[in-house]
Amino acid sequence: MSIPSYPDSAKGLEHFVEDMLKFEMEGNQQEVELYEKSLALPDAEGWFRSVFGDDLGESITHVSAPKRADVQVHTGDMLAEQIAAKRTDIEVVRFDDACNDRATSAEFSFLFLRRRPEHLYDVRFRGSSGASLWAYFAYIDGGFRYIGNMKAMEVELYKSPHSEDSTRRIMKGGNVPAPKLIHKEDPDYPLGAKAAGIQGNVVIHAIIAKDGSIRSMELVDGVCDLAQPAMRAVKNWRYSPTTLAGEPIEVDTTITVVFALGAAH
Question: pLDDT band at 168, cuts 50/70/90?
Answer: low
For residue 245, the model assigns a pLDDT of 81
Average pLDDT, the chain: 91
**CB count, 10 Å around CB of 239?**
21
Q: pLDDT tens-digit profile of 2-15?
A: 899 999 999 999 99
Q: pLDDT tens-digit profile of 117-167?
A: 899 999 999 998 899 999 999 999 999 999 999 999 899 888 665 555 556
Is the pLDDT score of 182 beyond 70? yes
C-beta of residue 135 within 8 angstroms of C-beta of residue 123: yes
Question: pLDDT band at 100, cuts 50/70/90?
Answer: confident
CATH of domain 169-259: 3.30.2420.10
The residue among 99, 101, 103 whose CA lies nearest residue 121 is 103
Q: pLDDT tens-digit profile of 201-226?
A: 999 999 999 999 999 999 999 998 99
Is the pLDDT score of 175 beyond 70? no
Which of the pair, 136 or 170, is modelled with greater confidence?
136
* pTM given for the model: 0.85
Domain edges within the chain: 10-156, 169-259
C-beta of residue 228 within 8 angstroms of C-beta of residue 98: yes
Phi-psi region at 12: left, alpha or beta (left = phi > 0; alpha = psi -120 to 50): alpha
CA pair distance 68, 45, nearest whole angstrom = 12
Is the pLDDT score of 171 beyond 80? no
C-beta of residue 20 within 8 angstroms of C-beta of residue 32: yes
